Each structure stands twice: as structure tokens, then as C-alpha cells.
Structure 1
């Protein structure tokens, strides 16, 4: 839209977004739309997650954290998490717009890899907004690709959202519906002989262990949050979440030697599990000056349905209700320093507690969790696998600190993460077993991981930046540990950013590098979609170097990125997960464009 002088009056500053948490914590802060070109090239999930995950070598394939992470739930969970980051990274935004707003983000990667992301939102009334988001992930096979459209991954995610508030702000309501359908065509990794060498994984006509199997993860969530002001600084609220996860593995070509065991005598493989939860939380919260307080009570119904199991024949509780009591608190010492704490108790069993400080010179937290193993670790029956366990709850303590020194042209951050875990549940591969090679286990000895960290940043002439991060990890009882991490983890970026041509040519150009020491990275078990501890395949040490160019033009942003420059020279690359070669040297292109009409 334009005014009488034909100058556009709607743009990135007339449409703002915020999150539900901003209203919940009575700390409402909306943000302008992101139009910066800094790191715009970091579109793939490994980069967005700070290289702290490893996948199967292609974008949107099964993915697992390199370092130990605390779970979101202390109660029951499905345990199928290999595609969870593709669900969690889609955080629902709510908007306040003066005009209709839409955004298109498109990535056209080499070898048939593409991402489509479309957003649309508008205010129906000044106090009522509606919108939707769609994300499509379409990845061709990177090994034995027959033609364009020969897919490795097809994923569709979308959400619808709306928010409403009374004109006097006494009542707020947020509603959204989310759905993700994620399909991965399994290949089992590159097929090699027992006496393989690294170069075998990068042969032009390298074969795969499997052709045809398919993993499917379908998730939906219906979410409602609303609150009502009872009096000055006092509000009552209700949160409801209805979640469903459908997991399936099928293979019409039964009998491949790749599988180590056949548990069920079926002519074709079709294993599926459905996990459902419905959580209702009711609470009171208060914000008086710098102090925020919240107490709540929650009930969470759960149910899991296995295709090949009659749940009445087993002792494990596959459906029921969990009751929670919890509290949250925050205190703003100043506009830049916040102390916070939260605690949740699952009646008669588990709990979690966390305290944190956020400030310009120190970010630190301490967490204590006891949580239940996932259902897939406790009970599973499929065509190629089956087990039933009675594992104890896992107990974990984690301390994270990062102290900062910030100057105009120099930043230094020093800290690290310490994790102590008891009764850790994980999957392990044992080649000496006569049938099933990969099974869940619970470790009776303590797992202790210490990861000191150093970050450095330099800015020269206000245009040339150099940033780096280094992590050195020490694992107790490394030879028998359930947790394997690279001893050294390094990342860095050198970039030049400036604005030329009278402010019309805003660009960033540079290179990004990542390196980590070789280690026994977790392997991937195809029929159960689980990552497992193994000790026979050590990933290689390899410098992963990308060259990028980001450019802003009016309301659009464009990037070019050449991936894995070193492989173009050496003809060999890196292996993030055993038997799965990583991204080859290839050129990617992407852009986004905003519309305000």
C-alpha cells in the first residue's frame, strides 16, 4: 500500500511478532521482522543447531544430538526422537500487523535438495490476528540418485494460529494447530566390504545396503492458552495440549540380509505405533514490579498403541493419567539481569528443578531431573526387533556456565557444561549377540561428562569479523561409557560485511569452518529409527569448510553457498554417522521476499 506521494507506508516495521511466553510472563515485547543478512546462509538444520547434531548425510534425515541433552518431559514419552528437531525448530509466532504480511523463503540446493517456507498473517481486527505457516522439505537421494525427484526425504509441516485479546487486555487467548508429515526413504548407508577404506564411501557408483524401506513420522498438536486478569497483577490461566505421534516402518522387499533378526514371520514389513497425550494445566500467576510468580496443577492423559502387542497382556502401564504440580519464578534485578527458577513434581515419582541467571556478563544454570525412559526403550515388538524391559528412572544433574567479556572490537566467553547421569538408558550394538544386535540397555554406573568451552570474537574496522568456538570434552570411563562425544569440537567463521552503493548494496561474504576429532559416533538402526552406541566404526577427522555470499536487496535477501570446499580438492569427505557419507561439495542458492499487501 502507498500514500499520496507513492511512498510505501507498510514494511518490516509495521508488522511485528511475539511469542506466547511474552504474554505468559507478563513481559510483553514484540519484535520487528528480521531483515538482517548476517548468517542468512545458515539454512540447514545442522548449522541452525550449532553443529551439535549429526544426521545421515542429507538435509532432514534422521538426526541425533552429539552432546547429552536433558529431556523436555519427566513423564512418559514415546522415545521416537530421530525427527523431533524438525518439529521443535518450528516455533509458533504470533503477529500484530497493520497490513497483510506474507513471506516466501525458498532454497534451491544442488542435486535436487529444496526447502519451501511460506508465512501469511493479517489482523482481522486490531485485537485479533490470524495466520498460517507452511514448510516443505524435499531432498533427493545423494547416493544412487536416478533422476530429479528421486527422493530421500519428503516432509510437510504447517500450522494455523490465531490470537485475540480484550481491548483492555484483561483477557488473552492463543490457539494453534500444528502438523508434520515426515517420510524418509531408508538406504542403510553405503554398502562396503569388511576390509573397507574411507575412499570406498565416496565412490561415484557406491551402492547402498537397502532400497525401498520407508520410515514415517506423523505428528499433530492442538494448543490453547488463555488467561484472565482477576485483579491488579493477578491472573488465572489454562493451557491445553492434545498431541499425537504416529510412527511407521515398512518394507515391501522382505528378507534383506541387512537385517540381523526376524521377530515376526510376515510376508511384508509394516510396523506402527501410535502415541497420544492430552495435558491440561491450570494455574495462577502474578507480576508485581520486578517479581514474577506462578503456581500450577496439571493432568496429562497418555496412551500408546502397538500394532503387534495386546497391551492387556503386559504389566507395563500403556495408558493412564499423570498428575503434576509446579511453580515458576523470575526476578529482574535490572533491565539486563534476570534470576529465574522453576520446579515440577510428577506425583509420587519424578521431578525437575532448574535455577538460572541471565546477564551481560554471565549466563548460568543448574538443573536436576529425574525422568522416565521412553516407551520404545521399555517395550517394542516389530518385524525385526522385540523386547520388554523394566528400567528405573534416569537421574541427571547438569550445570552450564558462560562468563562474558565484551568490548567494542573483542568478545571473550569462557565456561562449559558438566553433566552427571545415573541409570542412563540408551541403545547399544553388540556384534557378539546371535540375533538382535541393537538393544536398549540401562547403565548402572554413573556417566560424567565435562565439556569446558571457549568462545572468541574479533571485529576489525567495523566490517571484518572473526568468531570461533572450541569445546573440549572429557567422559568418565570412556571405554565402557554409554555416551561418546568428540574430544575436540571446533567452529569458526571469517566474514566481511558492508553496505555499498549509497546504502543499496548490503552484503556479507566469508567462509565458515567446522572440525571435530574422530570418535565412535552413534550408529543408526533403520527398523526402529533409533541411534545406538557402537564401538567398531570411528568417524573421520575432516575440516568442513563452506564459502558463502549473502546479499540484501530492498525487501529481499539472497544467498549463495558452496558446501564442503575441501572435498572438491581431496575427493573424499566426512562421515557424520557410521556408513553414511556427509554432504558433498555442491552449490546452494536461496532467497526470501516480504510482501505487505
Structure 2
């Protein structure tokens, strides 16, 4: 099927969905409000209740509202309406969804990392297997609803190259004080290269959460609870194999048809006889509850139990099936013995099956309330974790003795917020891990400028300190990482124009990274400078949003790799059509990062590391999109990487030897139901 036929079929489906959405906006009568509603009123602009001609409440985005756990924790007395905006609905890819501030392996659902240095959100010792965090349903993402009618939402995306994304959820009130619901996420993508059948899958993801919210009859006790699960499978490829030293442009010209992957060049048999797979498996039990006394003083408790397991399986370490393709001595895994390059394993010479497990229990108990204009929070936090490394021997196919690393940590902390006026606030936070880490932060925020300061000493991750696998082994006693960061932003508005210059400086010491030999190292002190500017213009019809960031490191330290120039630009027009039956956006997105030696990826331990042989060249990626809303149904059509082969070249690499997504056509529908 050629591109014109595919586009015709897609437009036909879009028109059909628009028609269905237009005729499906039935309104049904409603019920009464209750304690779950909070203080946010549900009135129209005239101040009267939302009524139809029969004086019955109409269900819709304003009558099904939600809050996040952090809103309750910080005494933020607000709830949010269901989103019906068109902004960014076409950005279903996780890289685009976060304004291109992440880099993946060129395909939906693959390992992903931030472009810029980002301090951890909390101090303490964490697992360090983070490359699939963005796909997980974490506690900060769970929405707790108050629905006046059963609420169901559907998001379905059909992308090119066998990409699919499904988000499905349902929530309903059992009574005015109790709500339950669930979220489901399904994500798949097909291989872009190194396949024998076009439909071969690279990523297979399931995620689910079940949640509840309950308030006592006197509104003194409030509980939020949920369980979430993720099962994320990736058929690892290792990037494109380049045994001939071919330049990047030649590799990209016909990579889909002719390229061979570094791991498992061809799958044969059913089930396949050669296989390299990574699996990120997670479960999370989470409870937040609080009790408010008559004077507004509150006590709260947070319980969190997380388990995470990373499995890596490669049943052809010796590459016997494709040694002729790779070439003699051209291996994927590094030497484990400096004196003998024939040994690239510790336990098994033909099969790798490593399992890393991490389980953590965390309890936080605290006091919160208001005092002389301050919203405050005082708490103690306790974390107990255990990490276990296991795998299989070669001949016996039995587990080798597991290696365990466990630890307990106790924290004391305080948080405060002071409101000078409605839009002028001061935030302050302090947390201490006894005898080791600390975090001190402060932010002053106003409509015209924002200034933040962060001072932090945080522990190395478990993975940085301990590794025990078939191809990698280390045991380190690193010092905590030190960071001091000062940032500021101005906001200047004139009519429809907004101009926002920003800058930050980060002083780091003892920064931990994986070097070119994929071994953890600790750096000397260095600085990172960021200077940015955003320029946005929002007229009645035409809009543009632009961002430029310049980054520079000092002291000739080359242990953290970031592009010097980072550019986002969006231009679009929007307005009503067909007597205001249809609201539509049509526009273009562009993104550019300058040349840099981006970190390479090692799937055996799910970590990015430094490399000096592959320059990821700067390349502008241009997408075009059309977003539409009919009633409550939103739809989009998007052509990603439309400039491939037309201008600027035939493609690009996101990560060394991992090509970016080719030109693809995708569409999606977002459909909320309120009955």
C-alpha cells in the first residue's frame, strides 16, 4: 500500500470517528454533590448550578473531578476538571510528550533517559534501574476522582511501524464519600530494523492500577490507596551492526531493509532459537491517609511497598549463529578478564540469564497544618530495602548463589509554604538522612519571576554500588554526590506575547557515571551552565511556541554528555469550523539538538554509559499534525518525521547505533464517557 492509499484510508477513519463523536454526546441526569467534591464549586459563569432545561444536572468534564495525592498532602484545597483541551494530544510518543527533554532508543517504549542533568527527587539509596520509569503508573500519576456519574475514558493511538497505545480507565462513586476506579495501559511497537517479518515486535507493555478514595462522614478522616503493576518486555537489538565502518548517512539510507542488529540479527523458528530480551516487572502498594482535628491540626501516614525486578536473557553469548555476520572477535559484551580477551562472562559461556530484584518498604508519619500564615509539614521517614542478584550456571542450568545487599535508612524532614498574596508564594523544604544525606531547597514564585535554590547530598544508587551478573561485576563504596543549584526565570508579558528568559548554574562534585568500559567512576568537581529563552505568541487564530537552551560544562570535565544547543518550535492555527460543530488545530512541530557524543546503552544492566566513537549528529525533526474536537471527543492525525529524505538528510540517530523513528503516519482518539 502506498502512502497516498494509507492517507486516504486514515482520512476516511477520521471522518467516521468525527461523525460518531458528534452524534454520541448524549446528556444524562445527575445526582448530588458530596464530601469528595472538596471546596471547588461546580457552578457556571452566571453562578447558578449546571442545569439543563429540565433543571437536571448535566454530567460532563466539570461534574467528574479529580485530585492528586500531593494536593491533599500540601493542603491544596482544589480539584481538577477532566481535560478537554487539544494541546499536545498528538504527542503520544513519550519523548515528544515531555517536550523532547528525554532521549530513547528510537522506538516507542524503549529505554529512555533525560537529556539534561536532573537531581533526584529524594535523598537516600534507590535501585537505579530507571530507564523504564516514565512508562510506569507511579503514585504521583494516580488520579483520585469524585464522579457524579460513572466516568470512563478511552485513548487509542495507532501509529506507524506497528506502534499502538491504549489507555483505558473507569471510575465511579459508590456513594458521596467513596470512589473506586482503575487505569489500564497497553503499549506495543514493532522493530524498525533487523527483522525477518515486518510485524516482529520490539516492545510489549502492560500497566494497570486500581485505586480508591474514602472520606468519613464528618470529613475528618481521608484515605487514598492504590495498587499498580507494570510488565514491560523489550526484545533487545543492541543497535545497528556496522562491521564495515560505514558512515552514518549510508547506514541510514536503507537501514530498515538491510540493517543487521548487533544482538540476534535474525530470528528463526517458532519460538525463536535465538533470543535477547529484557523485562522490567514492578508492583507497588501505596496508602496515604490523614486525620484532621477540630482546630485544623492534622496527622498523616504514608505506606509504600515497591518491588522491581529486571530480567535479562541472551541465549547465544558465543554468537555461534551469526559469527560470520559480526566478524571474528567482534563481540557485544566487554572483556571481564584484562589478561584474557576470550572470557566475556563470569558464569555462563553460552547463555546469560541475570535477575536483579529490589524490594523496599517505606513508612512516613507526620504532622501538618497552618501556623501564622505558613502551611507546614513535619515528618519522619523510614526506608528498608533489599537488592538481590541471581542468575544461571552454564551446564547445570541452576541458580548461582544469590548476592544480597540490604539497608535501612531513617529521615527527618520539614516543608513549608507561605502565601504573601494569591500569586506570590515562598516554599522551603529540608530533609536529612541521619549521618549522611541532606536536601535543602527554597523557591520564591511570583507572576513576574521565579528563583529557586537547591543544596543536596545524595547517596549512590544500588546499581552504582553493587553489580553481580554474567558480564559485569563490581562492589564500590562511593561518596555521596554533592549538588548546589541556583536557577531563575523572568516572565514578561505584553498582550498576546510572552517572553521568558531563564538561567541555572549547577555545581557538582563526586558525580557518578559509567565510563567507556562500562564501569562506575566518580568525578571531580565541575559546573553546568544552562541559559534558555522561550518566546510564545497566542493570537486568536495563529499561535507559536519556541524554546532555545544553551548548555556548557566547565573544568574540562567530560563525564556528562549533553547537546550544547536544544531547540523546540511549534506553529499552529486553531478555530471553529462547520458552525462551531468542530474545533480544530493544524500545525507543525520542530525539534533540534546539536552534535554530541551521546551516551550508549547496555541492555544487560539497563544502563547508559559514556562513549567516544559515535558522534550523534544534529538533525532537525519536523512533524505535522491536525487535532480536532467534536463535542467531548478529541482526535488527531500526525505525520512524524515528515522531512525524512526531503530536507536535512535521510534520518538521524537518537543514541549511538540506534536510529530515530522513520516517517510514520499515526492517528488517535480520546473519548470520555459520563454515563
**TM class by shorter-chain length?**
over 0.9
* 1:390-431, Cα deviation, whole Å (9 max, x unpaired): 2111111122221101232100001122211100100011xx
Structure showing the higher strand proportion among its residues:
1
Q: Match for 1:469 among 522, 547, 553?
A: 547
Matched, 1:235 2:306: no
Q: How many residue pairs are counted as aligned between the two chains?
A: 585
Q: Match for 1:324 among 403, 407, 411?
A: 411
Which residue is 2:655 aligned to?
577
Which residue is 1:344 aligned to?
431
Q: Partners in 1 of 2:129 and 2:533 — Cα distance?
A: 33
Which residue is 2:185 aligned to?
135
Matched, 1:301 2:384: yes
Alpha carbons of 1:379 and 1:2: their partners in 2 closer, same or farther (altered >3 Å)? closer
Which residue is 1:96 aligned to?
146
TM-score by length of 1: 0.94
Q: Partners in 1 of 2:382 and 2:85 — Cα distance?
A: 42
Cα drift, residue 438 of structure 1: 1.5
Which residue is 2:104 aligned to?
55
Task: Name the SS of the counterpart of 1:333 in structure 2.
Answer: strand
Q: Which moved more, 1:552-561 or 1:284-293?
A: 284-293
Cα drift, residue 592 of structure 1: 1.0
Q: Partners in 2 of 1:160 and 1:364 — Cα distance?
A: 38
Which residue is 1:171 aligned to?
221
Which residue is 1:396 aligned to?
483
* 1:127-186, Cα deviation, whole Å (9 max, x unpaired): 110000011111111113444641111111111110111232211001011111111111
Unpaired stretches in structure 2, ≥5 consecutive residues: 1-26, 30-51, 265-274, 320-330, 336-343, 393-398
Q: Match for 1:39 among 88, 91, 94?
A: 88
Q: What is the 5 A alignment of 1:16-35?
A: 16-35=65-84
Q: Match for 2:574 among 487, 490, 497?
A: 497
Q: Match for 2:346 among 261, 264, 270?
A: 264
Which residue is 2:520 aligned to?
440
Cα drift, residue 572 of structure 1: 1.3
Q: Match for 2:608 among 515, 524, 531?
A: 531
Q: What is the 5 A alignment of 1:372-391?
A: 372-391=459-478
8 Å CA contact 1:243–1:277 kept in 2: the answer is yes
8 Å CA contact 1:108–1:590 kept in 2: the answer is yes
Task: Name the SS of the counterpart of 1:565 in structure 2.
Answer: coil
8 Å CA contact 1:276–1:303 kept in 2: the answer is yes
Alpha carbons of 1:399 and 1:55: their partners in 2 closer, same or farther (altered >3 Å)? same
Cα drift, residue 27 of structure 1: 1.6
8 Å CA contact 2:128–2:463 kept in 1: the answer is yes
Which residue is 1:225 aligned to?
288
Cα drift, residue 233 of structure 1: 2.1
Which residue is 1:433 aligned to?
none
* 1:318-339, Cα deviation, whole Å (9 max, x unpaired): 2232111000000111111221
* 1:51-98, Cα deviation, whole Å (9 max, x unpaired): 111110001100111110011232111111111122267700010110
C-alpha RMSD over aligned residues: 2.0
Task: Name the SS of the counterpart of 2:588 in structure 1.
Answer: strand
Q: Partners in 2 of 1:245 and 1:321 — Cα distance?
A: 17
Task: Name the SS of the counterpart of 2:463 in structure 1.
Answer: helix
8 Å CA contact 1:311–1:318 kept in 2: the answer is no
Q: Which moved more, 1:55-64 or 1:247-256?
A: 247-256
8 Å CA contact 2:450–2:490 kept in 1: the answer is yes
8 Å CA contact 1:447–1:483 kept in 2: the answer is no
Q: Partners in 2 of 1:313 and 1:39 — Cα distance?
A: 46
Cα drift, residue 289 of structure 1: 6.9
Matched, 1:110 2:160: yes
Q: Which moved more, 1:301-310 or 1:492-501?
A: 301-310
Matched, 1:205 2:258: yes
8 Å CA contact 1:253–1:268 kept in 2: the answer is yes
Q: Partners in 2 of 1:551 and 1:568 — Cα distance?
A: 29
Which residue is 2:450 aligned to?
363
Q: Partners in 2 of 1:152 and 1:131 — Cα distance?
A: 31
Task: Name the SS of the counterpart of 1:473 in structure 2.
Answer: strand
Q: Partners in 1 of 2:88 and 2:101 — Cα distance?
A: 17
TM-score by length of 2: 0.84
Which residue is 2:14 aligned to?
none
Cα drift, residue 8 of structure 1: 8.5
* 1:492-512, Cα deviation, whole Å (9 max, x unpaired): 000001112222110000001
Which residue is 2:495 aligned to?
408
Matched, 1:334 2:360: no
* 1:91-140, Cα deviation, whole Å (9 max, x unpaired): 00010110000000000001100000001000101011000001111111
Which residue is 1:67 aligned to?
116
Q: What is the 5 A alignment of 1:181-192?
A: 181-192=231-242
Unpaired stretches in structure 1, ≥5 consecutive residues: 430-436
Q: Match for 2:170 among 101, 120, 125?
A: 120
Cα drift, residue 219 of structure 1: 1.2
Q: Partners in 2 of 1:403 and 1:5 — Cα distance?
A: 48
8 Å CA contact 1:26–1:287 kept in 2: the answer is no
Q: Partners in 1 of 2:366 and 2:401 — Cα distance?
A: 35
